[in-house]
Amino acid sequence: MRRNVRMTAVPLAVATMALSVSLGAVQSSAATKNAAPVKVGIVTEETGIFSAYATEWLQGVKLGFQYATKGTNKVDGHRIQLTTEDSADNPTTAAADFKSYVGAGYKIIGGTVDSSIATELAPLAQQNKVLYISGAAAADQITGANRYTFRSGRQTYQDVQTAKSYIKALGTGKTVLVLGQDFAFGQSYVTDATQAFGSLGDTVKSLLVPLTTTDFTPTALQVQADHPDIVFLAWAGATGAPLAQALDQQGIFASSKVVTGLANIGTYQFYGTAGLKFYYLSLYNWESPHNAVNTFLIKGMLRQYKQYPDLFSADGFVWAQMVVRAIQTGQGTNVMKMIKGLEGWKFQAPKGMQQIRAADHAMLQPMFQVQLVSSVTGVYQPVTLATLSAAQTAPPVSAHFGR
């Protein structure tokens, strides 16, 4: 069911994810006071195995609009009319929602934390000549998909490059098993890891598990039989906990080194004390960046949700910044002007300075290496070991960028 989101009506309800806040730009002149509203549509997974990610991302969207508009509720006089649709993590539903937005005259459409859905929506943007800004979806294929498609988050190549020095430090000639899910997200990791870790002299194997899997004992037994020196764990969604339990029961954490992405705050204790020995890459955790924008996000999350920003809060924040930038340069109606306004744009984000590469719309951004530590009360928290610059993790320019 579609919901029009009026930003001044009611506060954001986390349970329903009904964004209710007015959005806009820094100033409005007398000439633009009566400017037409800009309709902005979001398609995301409010239900399904990625719903926790969508919750974080949408919270970041709200706070990002508050920051980018300085609370004036309009962009050059244009009120933003924000609407959300729940795809329930179904690509067919997501595509139908996208087309419905197009039919209703929306020129800015975004969202999804599911890589498979993002890769389905990107061609629709080009076909219908609308601006599409994906959510936290990580598959490399989104970068360079076409000129109408942008991304607000990182991509798997950047994750793998962040992990590369960990793998190198563990020695050459190792066997690395990429353990992931069999959809665009996991497939992208296999491609990137094979190239990156293989260049170090390691042998890279992969094990991709169906996304619908709930019993992970066979998976753990297969990992055990492979005897990898290193497990590169590339996982997403609510099934991470039962996977971790199955791997632990088969002694994988004791027999293999584990390199993985730091996930949501609520998962920090998934792996028990073994997790304190893992090598973590981090796309975002609220303690790593130190800048005024991240401070705004942290204070906003504590004020409005009584919690710290989580894994995808910053991506939602950046998405809102990009939407405001697009409206400022193309009034929300001129798609080509909005595209040109985003291409090459460099801006301060919660993670630090980010830039949209004009050549293929890659989102260049800092990445982090962290370690989990346990406090005297048993609470796990990350400690930042290193910050990798945007240049250090920048993906190669996509050769398939269509204009």
Residues 376-391: tens digit of each pLDDT: 788 899 999 999 999 9
Which residue type is seen at 264?
N
238/280 Cα distance (integer angstroms)? 19
Residue type (1 letter), 100: S
Specify whether 236 is located in the same domain as 372.
yes
> CA–CA distance from 157 to each of 50, 167, 383 (Å)?
21, 15, 23
Q: Does residue 403 belong to any structural domain of this protein?
A: no
* Same domain (yes/no): 91, 214: no
- What pLDDT digit, counting tens, does each position of 212-246 carry? 999 999 999 999 999 999 999 999 988 988 999 99
Please say if the pLDDT value at position 333 is more than 60.
yes
Q: Tell me, what's the pLDDT at 42?
A: 98
* Residue 70 in this model has a pLDDT that exceeds 80: yes
Of the candidates 182, 243, 240, 179, the one whose C-alpha atom is nearest the C-alpha of residue 216 is 243
In a domain, 402, yes or no: no
Q: Same domain, yes or no, for 48 and 116?
A: yes
What do you get for the CA distance between the two ends of the chain, in Å? Answer: 34
The region that residue 214 occupies, defined by phi over 0 for left and psi between -120 and 50 for alpha, beta otherwise, is alpha
398 domain residue, yes or no = no
Band the pLDDT of 6: cuts 50, 70, 90: very low
Q: Hey, which residues does 61 pair with through a beta bridge?
A: none
β-strand pairing of 230-234 with 257-261: parallel
CA angle 13, 16, 20 (to 5 degrees): 50
Q: Do residue 133 and residue 81 come from a single domain?
A: yes
Write down the pLDDT at residue 399.
76
- For residue 332, give the CATH number of its domain: 3.40.50.2300
Structural domain boundaries, residue 231: 157-282+368-393
Shared-domain flag, residues 239 and 210: yes
Whether residues 98 and 115 share a domain: the answer is: yes
Segment 127-146 shows an average pLDDT of 97
- Which residues 6+ apart lie within 8 Å of 70 measured at CB? 26
Cα(149)–Cα(129) distance, integer angstroms: 10
Largest Cα separation within the chain, whole Å, is 71
Tokens of 361: 């719309």
Q: Closest by alpha carbon to 35, among 4, 3, 73, 1? A: 73
State whether residue 386 is helix, strand or coil: strand
DSSP state of 58: H
Residues 113 and 136 occupy one common structural domain: yes
Pairing of strands 175-181, 149-151: unpaired
pLDDT band at 33 (very low <50, low <70, confident <90, very high): low
Q: How does the average pLDDT of the chain come out, rounded? A: 91
Q: How confident is the model at residue 375 (pLDDT cuts 50, 70, 90)?
A: confident
Q: Are residues 100 and 122 in the same domain?
A: yes
| Cβ pair 41, 83 in contact under 8 A | yes
Answer yes or no: are the C-beta atoms of 308 and 298 closer than 8 Å: yes
Q: How far apart are CA 203 and CA 223, in angstroms?
A: 15
Q: What does the block give as tokens for 99? A: 């087309």
Whether residue 213 contacts residue 183, with contact meaning beta carbons closer than 8 Å, is answered with: no
Amino acid 237: pLDDT: 86
Structural domain count, the chain: 2
Q: Is residue 400 part of a domain?
A: no
Cβ count within 10 A of residue 125: 24
pLDDT at 402: 57
Same domain, 64 and 23: yes
Closest by Cα among 96, 89, 93 to 112: 89
Helix (H, G, I), strand (E, B) or coil at 315: helix
Q: For 156-202, how does the pLDDT look when each residue is reduced to its tens digit (9 = 90+)?
A: 999 999 999 999 999 999 999 999 999 889 999 999 999 999 999 99
